[in-house]
Structure 1
Amino acid sequence: MSGIRNYGLIRWIASTIAMSALFAACSVSRPAQVPTPPPALPALVPQPTPTPQVIGMASWYGPGFHGHKTSAGSVYDQEELTAASIAFPLGSRVMVTNLDNGRSVEVTITDRGPFLKGRKIDLSHKAARMIGMLDHGTARVRISLIGKPAGSREVGAPLRYFVQVGSFSEQRNAEQLRSKLAAYYADVHVDRLDADHRRYYRVRMGAFATRSAAAARASDSARFGLPIVIVTE
Structure 2
Amino acid sequence: MKTNTFATIAHRRLPVAVAGLLLLLIALPGMAAVKPAPGAVQSGMASFYHDSLHGNRTASGQVYDKNRVSAAHKTLPLGTKVKVTDLETGRSIVVPINDRGPFVRGRVIDLSRRAAAKLDMIKRGVTRVQIEVLSMPGSGA
Give the aligned partner of residue 57 of structure 1.
Answer: 45
**Residues 1:88 and 2:82 are matched in the alignment:** no
Give the aligned partner of residue 63 of structure 2.
Answer: 75
Give the aligned partner of residue 132 of structure 1.
Answer: 120
The higher relative CO (CA closer than 8 Å, separation ≥ 6) is in 2
Distance 1:104 1:73, change over 3 A: same
Separation (CA, whole Å) in 2 of partners of 1:149 and 1:123 = 20
1:1-233 paired onto structure 2 within 5 Å: 51-150=39-138
Contact 2:81 2:95 in 1 (8 A): yes
Amino acid of the structure 2 residue aligned with 1:146: L
Give the aligned partner of residue 6 of structure 1.
Answer: none
Q: Identity, % of aligned pairs?
A: 45
Distance 1:63 1:50, change over 3 A: closer
Structure 1, gaps ≥5 residues long: 1-48, 152-233
Separation (CA, whole Å) in 2 of partners of 1:62 and 1:117 = 17
Separation (CA, whole Å) in 2 of partners of 1:58 and 1:96 = 9
Deviations 1:133-162 (A, max 9, x none): 1001000000000101127xxxxxxxxxxx
Deviations 1:82-103 (A, max 9, x none): 0011131111000000000100
Contact 2:75 2:100 in 1 (8 A): no
Alignment TM-score, normalising by the size of structure 2? 0.70
Deviations 1:60-99 (A, max 9, x none): 0031110011100010001111001113111100000000
List, as ranges, runs of 4+ consecutive aligned residues in structure 1 with deviation greater than 4 Å.
Answer: none
Distance 1:69 1:51, change over 3 A: same
Separation (CA, whole Å) in 1 of partners of 2:95 and 2:108 = 14
Amino acid of the structure 2 residue aligned with 1:145: V
Structure 2, gaps ≥5 residues long: 1-36
Contact 1:90 1:109 in 2 (8 A): yes
Contact 2:38 2:136 in 1 (8 A): no
Instruction: Return the index of the structure with the highest Cα Rg.
Output: 1
Aligned CA-pair RMSD = 1.5
Separation (CA, whole Å) in 1 of partners of 2:116 and 2:106 = 18
